[in-house]
């Protein structure tokens, strides 16, 4: 099932590139899934790592995910999927609320995604300086609010010792980048 999710995501994101680089988009979901796999997460969560942006960024819909991967993977992808008809701030506020109220699997999917995104932004800033922010629909201050809010809310309802190690890595990356 994991290889099937990787192949599905690879095909779905074919031809797409990351915002601030010429890197194939699929590299991001692969890194998210790898983070989840290294944390020994469930196969459903690893599959959701590969598929987390498919509904947002490709013609595929949740029904397609459910048909191919079942309800457990679909629920995880749905919890992560933003409603692109809403403003940037509304979408991000919703994600923060999902991180705050979600179960450990939902939190893990979102944190693995945000950690990889932030590492990519950090790498881009090292290469191009403040010009990195021109690739985003929001300012540095808005991004700071968002990533710090995810970091603050990911701990709600779970003891730190139960969280995967990458939660701590995400917190450290947020602190380092936004100081």
Active site residue 56: yes
If DSSP codes are grouped into helix, strand and coil, which group holds residue 24? Answer: strand
Active site residue 75: no
Question: What is the distance between the alpha carbons of residues 101 and 92, in angstroms, rounded to a whole number?
Answer: 14
- Report pLDDT for 139: 86
Assigned token pair, 131: 């010009």
pLDDT tens-digit profile of 40-85? 999 999 999 999 999 999 999 999 999 999 999 999 999 999 988 9
pLDDT tens-digit profile of 138-165? 888 999 999 999 999 999 999 888 899 9
pTM (two decimals): 0.95
**Which phi and psi (to 5°) does residue 154 adopt?**
-70, -20
Mean pLDDT of all residues in 121-127: 88
CA 168, 170, 174 angle in degrees (round to 5)? 120
Q: How confident is the model at residue 108 (pLDDT cuts 50, 70, 90)?
A: very high
From 56, 68, 75, 82, active-site residue? 56
Question: What is the distance between the alpha carbons of residues 60 and 64, in angstroms, rounded to a whole number?
Answer: 6
User: CA Rg, the chain, in Å?
Assistant: 15
Q: How confident is the model at residue 131 (pLDDT cuts 50, 70, 90)?
A: confident
Which domains, from first to last, does the chain contain? 2-177 (1.10.3210.10)
Task: Indicate if the pLDDT at residue 86 is higher than 80.
Answer: yes
From 24, 57, 64, 82, active-site residue? 57
């Amino acid at each position: 099932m994991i290889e099937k999710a990787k192949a599905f995501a690879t095909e779905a994101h074919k031809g797409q590139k990351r915002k601030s680089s010429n890197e194939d988009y699929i590299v991001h979901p692969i890194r998210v899934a790898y983070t989840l796999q290294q944390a020994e997460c469930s196969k459903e969560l690893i599959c959701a790592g590969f598929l987390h942006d498919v509904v947002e960024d490709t013609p595929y819909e949740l029904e397609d995910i459910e048909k191919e991967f079942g309800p457990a993977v679909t629920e995880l992808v749905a919890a992560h999927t933003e409603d692109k008809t809403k403003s940037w701030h509304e979408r991000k506020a919703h994600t923060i609320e999902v991180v705050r109220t979600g179960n450990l699997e939902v939190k893990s999917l979102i944190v693995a995604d945000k950690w990889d995104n932030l590492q990519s932004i950090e790498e881009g800033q090292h290469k191009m300086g403040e010009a990195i922010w021109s690739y985003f629909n929001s300012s540095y201050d808005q991004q700071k609010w968002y990533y710090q809010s995810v970091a603050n809310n990911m701990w709600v309802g779970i003891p730190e010792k139960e969280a995967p190690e990458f939660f701590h890595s995400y917190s450290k990356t947020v602190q380092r980048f936004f100081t």
